[in-house]
Amino acid sequence: MIIGTDGPAVILNARTAAWLERYANLTALRVRIRGTDPQISRQLEELRVAAMSWRGSATGTTDAPQAEPAASSEWLSTGQAADLADVTPRAIRKAVTQGRLPATDVNGQHRINREDLEHYRASRPA
Protein backbone atom coordinates (compact mmCIF):
# COMPACT_ATOMS: atom_id res chain seq x y z
CA MET A 1 0.00 0.00 0.00
CA ILE A 2 1.35 3.43 -0.89
CA ILE A 3 0.50 6.17 1.57
CA GLY A 4 1.80 9.57 2.61
CA THR A 5 2.54 12.86 0.92
CA ASP A 6 6.34 12.49 0.82
CA GLY A 7 6.23 9.50 -1.51
CA PRO A 8 5.82 5.78 -0.93
CA ALA A 9 5.69 4.58 2.66
CA VAL A 10 6.14 1.11 4.15
CA ILE A 11 4.02 -0.23 6.97
CA LEU A 12 5.82 -2.65 9.30
CA ASN A 13 4.24 -4.82 11.95
CA ALA A 14 5.52 -4.70 15.54
CA ARG A 15 7.30 -8.06 15.26
CA THR A 16 9.32 -6.80 12.28
CA ALA A 17 10.20 -3.69 14.26
CA ALA A 18 11.38 -5.89 17.15
CA TRP A 19 13.40 -8.06 14.77
CA LEU A 20 15.08 -4.97 13.26
CA GLU A 21 15.80 -3.56 16.72
CA ARG A 22 17.48 -6.80 17.78
CA TYR A 23 19.33 -7.95 14.67
CA ALA A 24 19.99 -4.70 12.74
CA ASN A 25 21.10 -2.83 15.88
CA LEU A 26 18.66 0.04 15.39
CA THR A 27 19.37 1.23 18.93
CA ALA A 28 22.89 2.29 17.97
CA LEU A 29 21.63 3.87 14.76
CA ARG A 30 18.89 5.75 16.61
CA VAL A 31 21.45 7.17 19.07
CA ARG A 32 23.81 8.14 16.23
CA ILE A 33 21.06 9.87 14.21
CA ARG A 34 19.44 11.68 17.14
CA GLY A 35 19.48 15.43 16.56
CA THR A 36 20.84 15.25 13.00
CA ASP A 37 17.66 14.45 11.03
CA PRO A 38 14.36 15.01 12.87
CA GLN A 39 12.23 12.93 10.47
CA ILE A 40 14.52 9.89 10.51
CA SER A 41 15.01 10.21 14.25
CA ARG A 42 11.24 10.31 14.80
CA GLN A 43 10.64 7.25 12.61
CA LEU A 44 13.40 5.26 14.33
CA GLU A 45 11.79 6.14 17.66
CA GLU A 46 8.41 4.95 16.32
CA LEU A 47 10.06 1.64 15.37
CA ARG A 48 11.40 1.37 18.93
CA VAL A 49 7.92 1.95 20.38
CA ALA A 50 6.43 -0.70 18.07
CA ALA A 51 9.21 -3.14 19.02
CA MET A 52 8.61 -2.54 22.71
CA SER A 53 4.90 -3.12 22.18
CA TRP A 54 5.59 -6.51 20.58
CA ARG A 55 8.10 -7.49 23.27
CA GLY A 56 5.65 -6.47 25.98
CA SER A 57 3.01 -8.88 24.78
CA ALA A 58 3.15 -12.41 26.16
CA THR A 59 3.65 -14.07 22.78
CA GLY A 60 3.93 -11.36 20.18
CA THR A 61 0.36 -12.09 19.06
CA THR A 62 -3.14 -11.29 20.18
CA ASP A 63 -3.75 -14.96 21.01
CA ALA A 64 -4.06 -15.94 24.66
CA PRO A 65 -0.60 -16.60 26.10
CA GLN A 66 0.47 -20.03 27.27
CA ALA A 67 1.68 -20.46 30.83
CA GLU A 68 5.44 -20.03 31.05
CA PRO A 69 7.85 -21.71 33.42
CA ALA A 70 9.03 -19.47 36.24
CA ALA A 71 11.42 -17.03 34.62
CA SER A 72 14.55 -16.16 36.53
CA SER A 73 16.32 -14.92 33.41
CA GLU A 74 15.85 -14.23 29.73
CA TRP A 75 17.50 -17.58 28.85
CA LEU A 76 15.73 -20.90 28.31
CA SER A 77 16.91 -24.49 28.10
CA THR A 78 16.00 -26.47 24.98
CA GLY A 79 13.28 -28.23 26.98
CA GLN A 80 11.75 -24.97 28.19
CA ALA A 81 11.97 -23.50 24.68
CA ALA A 82 10.32 -26.62 23.26
CA ASP A 83 7.45 -26.38 25.75
CA LEU A 84 6.85 -22.72 24.89
CA ALA A 85 7.10 -23.32 21.13
CA ASP A 86 4.90 -26.42 21.33
CA VAL A 87 7.54 -28.59 19.62
CA THR A 88 9.92 -31.30 20.79
CA PRO A 89 13.35 -30.55 22.29
CA ARG A 90 14.79 -32.34 19.24
CA ALA A 91 13.04 -29.83 16.94
CA ILE A 92 14.59 -26.98 18.94
CA ARG A 93 18.07 -28.54 18.74
CA LYS A 94 17.60 -29.06 14.97
CA ALA A 95 16.54 -25.41 14.51
CA VAL A 96 19.64 -24.31 16.44
CA THR A 97 21.93 -26.58 14.39
CA GLN A 98 20.41 -25.33 11.12
CA GLY A 99 20.83 -21.69 12.20
CA ARG A 100 17.09 -20.96 12.30
CA LEU A 101 17.17 -20.31 16.06
CA PRO A 102 20.13 -18.53 17.66
CA ALA A 103 21.47 -20.13 20.84
CA THR A 104 24.41 -19.79 23.19
CA ASP A 105 26.45 -22.81 24.24
CA VAL A 106 26.81 -23.01 28.02
CA ASN A 107 28.82 -25.99 29.21
CA GLY A 108 27.78 -28.05 26.19
CA GLN A 109 24.07 -27.17 26.45
CA HIS A 110 22.11 -24.71 24.33
CA ARG A 111 20.56 -21.67 25.99
CA ILE A 112 17.96 -19.78 23.97
CA ASN A 113 17.09 -16.13 24.43
CA ARG A 114 13.35 -15.60 25.01
CA GLU A 115 13.07 -12.94 22.29
CA ASP A 116 14.88 -15.16 19.77
CA LEU A 117 12.41 -17.93 20.60
CA GLU A 118 9.47 -15.58 20.01
CA HIS A 119 10.89 -14.62 16.60
CA TYR A 120 11.36 -18.33 15.80
CA ARG A 121 7.79 -19.12 16.88
CA ALA A 122 6.36 -16.25 14.86
CA SER A 123 8.29 -17.27 11.74
CA ARG A 124 7.02 -20.87 11.79
CA PRO A 125 4.06 -21.74 9.56
CA ALA A 126 0.78 -22.04 11.42
CA atoms of 117 and 126, how far apart (whole Å):
15
For residues 13 and 28, give the distance between their C-alpha atoms in angstroms, rounded to a whole number: 21
The CATH class that applies to domain 75-123 reads mainly alpha
Q: What is the pLDDT along the chain (126 residues), one digit of tens a residue?
A: 556 677 777 788 888 888 888 888 888 888 888 888 888 888 888 888 888 888 777 455 544 445 544 555 688 999 999 998 889 999 999 999 999 999 998 888 899 999 899 888 888 776
pLDDT digits (tens, 9 = 90+) for 64-86: 445 544 555 688 999 999 998 88
What are the extents of the domains in the chain? 14-56, 75-123
Instruction: Report the predicted TM-score, pTM, of the whole model to 2 decimal places.
Output: 0.55
